Amino acid sequence: MERVAIGHISVDSYASDALVASLLEKAFTSERTHLVATINAQFYVLSSRETPFRECLRRAEFLCADGISIALAARWLSNQSIQRTPGVDLIGRLCKAGAAQGLRVFFLGGKPGSADATAHILKAENPGLHVAGVCCPAFGFERDPEQLQSVLSEIKAAQPHIVFVGLGAPKQEHFIDEYLRFLRVPVAVGVGGSFEMLSGQLRRAPLWLQSIGMEWFFRFAQEPRRLWRRYCIGNAEFLWIVWGHYWRSRRLETQAQMLEP
């Protein structure tokens, strides 16, 4: 699958249906882990600052555009259109498409109660789905060897086809890259706060707001004190970084034209 360059990272150009089909094929047949990252403006800014996170994303087998900002940046920097596949939608689509085949899924992370509620809802909607396990570890569990080993042992014993990891970026991607690869979980998807939305702890934007790319504003309006820095300062930083990539690419094009005979 072709990747579209967006400055310092590149994103897959999968259509949503093709992405789901490819992930399910890996889930049922692969003997190694495939890291799936759903990229938004926050990911983009963090990966520009933090080399380890940037390298982690470059190792990811699947990089999907979660936010409208990434789709617009792809159009501006590469003159290509890519389809958005938000993590919250990807969870439901994978469970629905894989249920008839006996898909086994594991839910890791989220706020207390959100992963359990999400698992219950998805199981009710998709009777053939197997919930292999649910785990909401304490904050900072990955720094405690005993707690970390307990979580990894639980995942290994569950033998899931797919693990949905809701630990937030960049922790969830590093966790998959550093630990789940050794367990050879076929597919591991970083899903951020998707469990809170699917469980109803957080309201999702109406479809008309989603369709015009303003879902982020609806999210911000629910928790302005917690999210103002991410959306106000973070989005401004995102635009600045994208502009920098655009300016450099234009300058290189101009220099190349000047060197032409």
**Three-class SS state of 161:** coil
Give the closest residue to 4 by CA, choosing from 81, 93, 116, 108: 81
- pTM of the predicted structure, to 2 decimals: 0.93
Q: Mean pLDDT of all residues in the chain?
A: 93
SS3 string of 203-227?
A: CCCCHHHHHCCCHHHHHHHHCHHHH
pLDDT for the residue numbered 157: 98
Phi and psi at 34, nearest 5°, equal -115, 115
Contact in structure between 6 and 73 (CB atoms under 8 Å): yes
Q: Which amino acid is residue 14, in one-letter code?
A: Y
Question: What kind and span of H or E run contains 11?
Answer: strand 9-12
Binned at pLDDT 50, 70 and 90, residue 255 comes out as: low
CA 115 to chain centre: 16
**Three-class SS state of 159:** coil
User: Could you read off the pLDDT of 124-183 as tens digits, one per residue?
Assistant: 999 999 999 999 999 999 999 999 999 999 999 999 999 999 999 999 999 999 999 999
For residue 230, the tally of other CB atoms under 10 A from its CB is: 17
